[in-house]
């Protein structure tokens, strides 16, 4: 797992029908992912992760998240993305609660890290050709629903 220390608010609002100027969002073109979030008005920054692959740090309605890039060759030409959020060790959910939440989900997965933080992930494959803006809107809407559902499960 690529490590990233998450800190931020736990509230997330949903927003549909995002308008953006790029035609395709491609893991092979990190700037297209950054542009998507910038077009949403979400503060975002393109950075390198701990292994040198691109990643995009995003603030969306008070919640910090990261989009990691996977399937990269020499830190470029990536073919997939992972939406990631982490919650403090103080965020309460039992192991049984995590298992129940995971079992009920079609998209997304959650787990407890060794340090007690709760991790939330959702992967998509874009290939080299990417996905349309309309499809990426749906992908991001699914992610926001996953986040909202997980945050509801935290006590």
pLDDT of the residue at 127: 94
pTM, whole model, 2 decimals? 0.84
Note every long-range contact of 149-154, with CB atoms under 8 Å and residues 24 or more positions apart, other chains counting. 149/101, 149/105, 149/108, 150/101, 150/108, 150/110, 150/118, 150/120, 151/10, 151/11, 151/12, 153/93, 153/97, 153/101, 154/10, 154/87, 154/91, 154/92, 154/93, 154/118
Can you tell me the mean pLDDT for 59-78? 94
Sorted by where each starts, the structural domains of the chain and their CATH numbers stand as: 24-153 (3.30.1460.70)
Indicate whether 71 pLDDT > 50: yes
Can you tell me the mean pLDDT for 100-124? 97
Can you tell me the mean pLDDT for 110-116? 96
Can you tell me the mean pLDDT for 42-70? 95
Can you tell me the mean pLDDT for 87-101? 93
């Amino acid at each position: 797992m690529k490590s990233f220390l998450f800190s931020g608010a736990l509230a997330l609002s949903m927003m549909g029908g995002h308008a953006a100027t790029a035609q395709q969002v491609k893991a092979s073109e990190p700037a297209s992912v950054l542009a998507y979030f910038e077009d949403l008005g979400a503060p975002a920054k393109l950075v390198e992760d701990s292994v040198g692959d691109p990643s995009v740090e995003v603030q969306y309605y008070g919640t910090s998240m990261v989009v990691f890039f996977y399937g990269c060759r020499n830190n470029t030409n990536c073919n997939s993305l992972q939406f990631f959020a982490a919650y403090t060790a103080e965020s309460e959910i039992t192991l049984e609660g995590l298992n129940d939440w995971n079992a009920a989900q079609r998209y997304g997965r959650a787990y407890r890290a060794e340090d007690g933080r709760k991790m939330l992930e959702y992967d998509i494959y874009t290939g080299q050709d990417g996905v349309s803006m309309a499809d990426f809107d749906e992908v991001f809407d699914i992610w926001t629903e996953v986040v909202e559902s997980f945050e509801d499960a935290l006590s």
